[in-house]
Amino acid sequence: MAEEKEEAISFNDLGVNEQLVEACDSLGWKTPTKIQIEAIPPALEGKDIIGLAQTGSGKTGAFAIPIIQSLLEKEQAFFACVLSPTRELAIQIAEQFEALGSGIGLKCVVLVGGVDLAQQSILLGKRPHIVVATPGRLVDHLSNTKGFSLRALKYLVLDEADRLLNEDFEKAIDEILSVIPRERRTYLFSATMTKKVKKLQRACLRNPIKIEAASKYSTVDTLKQQYCFVAAKFKECYLVFILTEKPESTCMVFTRTCDATGLLAYLLRNLGFRAIPISGHMSQPKRLGALNKFKSGECNILICTDVASRGLDIPSVDVVINYDIPMNSKDYIHRVGRTARAGRAGVAISLINQYEMEWYLQIEKLIDKKLPKYPAEQDEVLQLLERVTEAKRISQMKINETGGKKRRRGGEGDGEEEIEKYLSRNKGNKGKSFKTAKRR
C-alpha cells in the first residue's frame, strides 16, 4: 500500500472519470496519494510530467490513470509504451494497468527478456493498447516482429529513469526514441535527479511540469551507504578490519541478538578497541551507564540491538555498522538515521553474509537505491584472522565463565563487571587502535 495520502481530496476532484474512480475503488484506492494528487490534473490537461517519486508512492497509478482515461476517449492499439529497467517492475506495472482497466477490456502486453520472443510476438499480434517493456527486448521486437511498430504511439513513460540510464540502456532508448512520434505525451519518473536524467529530460520532454513526492523512507544526501558481502565465518574479521580503518570515529554496531552484543564487545576489547555493549539483557540503569560511557567518549564503539537502542538519546555518530542486517527493512532506516544528522557527513556499512541477501534486497527496495561496495580486499582482511579468532576464543571462554558465575549468584549475566574491569585497565589508553596494538 502506498503511504502518503491526503484525506480531503478524492479521485473525482482530480478530474478522473466515473469508470476509473470505480476501478480505483475496487482496488481499495479510496483516496489518491500525494504523487497522484499532483500528477493527475496536469497529465489530464495534456502536459508532460517529470515526477520525482519512488516505488511505493503510488506513481504507477499517477501515470496509468491519465493514460487510460485518454484511451477511453479514443481507443487505439499501441496507444502507450512504458519502459522499465527490470522485468519485475515491468510485470508490476502491467498488473496495475490490467487491474485499473479490467472493466473496460484494456489489453496490455509485457515485453521482457527471459520469455520466448515468438510467444510475445503472438501477443503483439492481438494489438494491445499498452506495451510495458524493458528497452532491450522492445528494440528486439521493433526490429524483428513483423507488423509491429510504435508509429502511432501517444504516450511514452520512462519509469525509474535513473536506473534505466545507469544500467546502460541508453543506446536502446535512443533507438526507441527515433522510431516513435515526436508528437506525443511523455512522462518521466525517477527516484533521483541525476545529470543523465536531466539530459534525458531535455531530449524527451516538452515544458514538463515537475512534481516531487519524496518517500518517507529516503535517506539524506550526506549519508554514504555501502555494503560488504562476506562469508558468515569471516564476519568478525571484516568488522575488525572496518573498525581499524575508522580509528577514533564514534561508531554504532548493530547486531541481531543480545548475546552477540556481549561477545563482540569482549572480542573487540580484547583487541584494544574501546567497545561497550547495550543489550536487552541489561537492566535500564546499566544500559544508561553504558550509554554514558559512550556519550562521554570513554568508549567510542557502542554495540547494540535494535530493541536496546530504541528510545536512547544518542548524539549523531560518525559510522553505523550493520553487523547483522535487520530482518525488518524499516529498522535499517532507523539505524542509519543515527548518523549523518543535521547536514553532517556519515557512513553506514552493512555486512551481508550468504543467508542475509534476501533481507538486504528488501532494504534496497525500500530505499530505492543500489548501494556501492565497501572496498575491502579479502587477502588483507584475512591477515587479521588469526588474532580475531584467538580474541573470539578468549571472549567465548570469559562469557562462559562469567555467565556461569552470575547464574549461580542469580545475576543478570551481562558482563558489566568485566566492562568495568576493562575500562579501568584501559584508562589512559584511549587512542590505541587495533593496528597499533598489532604492531606492538
Of positions 61, 128, 346, 415, contacts ligand AMP by CB under 6 A = 61
* Closer to ligand AMP by Cβ: residue 18 or 183: 18
The two beta strands, 346-352 and 301-304, are: unpaired
Contact 129, 149 (CB under 8 A): no
At 5, phi and psi to the nearest 5? Answer: -135, 155
262 is an interface residue for ligand AMP by CB under 6 A? no
Burial code of 23-59, b = ≥16 C-beta within 10 A, e = fewer?
Answer: bbeeeebeebbbbbbbbbbebbeebbbbbbbbbbbbb
Least separation in angstroms between residue 55's CB and ligand AMP is 5
Assigned C-alpha cell, 157:
513513460
Question: Which window, 57-65, 144-152, 285-293, 393-401, contacts ligand AMP (CB under 6 A)?
Answer: 57-65
Q: Which amino acid is at 387?
A: R
Q: Is the dihedral of CA 295, 345, 245, 227 positive or negative?
A: positive
Burial code of 285-295, b = ≥16 C-beta within 10 A, e = fewer?
Answer: ebbebbbebbb
51 is an interface residue for ligand AMP by CB under 6 A? no
What is the greatest pairwise CA distance in the chain?
84
Of positions 4, 55, 84, 150, contacts ligand AMP by CB under 6 A = 55
Least separation in angstroms between residue 60's CB and ligand AMP is 3
Question: Which window, 59-67, 145-153, 240-248, 262-270, contacts ligand AMP (CB under 6 A)?
Answer: 59-67
* Closer to ligand AMP by Cβ: residue 33 or 261: 33
Of positions 29, 187, 273, 360, contacts ligand AMP by CB under 6 A = 29
Of all residues in the shown chain, the one whose CB is closest to ligand AMP is 60
2 is an interface residue for ligand AMP by CB under 6 A? yes
* Closer to ligand AMP by Cβ: residue 61 or 272: 61
Least separation in angstroms between residue 127's CB and ligand AMP is 26
Of positions 37, 39, 58, 255, contacts ligand AMP by CB under 6 A = 58
Assigned C-alpha cell, 439:
604492531
Q: What strand order describes the sheet that includes 346-352?
A: 223-229, 346-352, 319-322, 251-254, 301-304, 275-278
Residue carrying the nine cell digits 512504458: 82
Rule CB under 6 A: which of 328-387 touch ligand AMP?
A: none
Assigned C-alpha cell, 158:
520512462
419 is an interface residue for ligand AMP by CB under 6 A? no
66 is an interface residue for ligand AMP by CB under 6 A? no
32 is an interface residue for ligand AMP by CB under 6 A? yes
State the Cα–Cα distance between residues 180 and 81, nearest whole angstrom.
10
Instruction: Enter the DSSP assignment of 211.
Output: E
101 is an interface residue for ligand AMP by CB under 6 A? no
Question: Which window, 52-60, 316-324, 396-404, 423-431, contacts ligand AMP (CB under 6 A)?
Answer: 52-60
57 is an interface residue for ligand AMP by CB under 6 A? yes
215 is an interface residue for ligand AMP by CB under 6 A? no
At 110, phi and psi to the nearest 5? Answer: -110, 125
Q: How many residues bind ligand AMP (CB under 6 A)?
A: 13
Of positions 38, 43, 52, 59, contacts ligand AMP by CB under 6 A = 59
Of positions 16, 33, 37, 66, contacts ligand AMP by CB under 6 A = 33
C-alpha distances out from residue 191 to 54, 57, 92, 370, 413, Å:
5, 10, 17, 12, 47
At 50, phi and psi to the nearest 5? Answer: -120, 120
84 is an interface residue for ligand AMP by CB under 6 A? no
Least separation in angstroms between residue 307's CB and ligand AMP is 29
Of positions 56, 247, 289, 337, contacts ligand AMP by CB under 6 A = 56
State the Cα–Cα distance between residues 52 and 190, nearest whole angstrom.
5
Question: Which window, 31-39, 120-128, 145-153, 351-359, contacts ligand AMP (CB under 6 A)?
Answer: 31-39
Least separation in angstroms between residue 366's CB and ligand AMP is 12
Secondary structure class of 252 (helix, strand, coil): strand
387: exposed, middle or buried (Cβ count in 10 Å: 0-12, 13-18, 19+): middle
**Site residues (vs ligand AMP, CB under 6 A):** 1-2, 29, 32-33, 36, 55-61
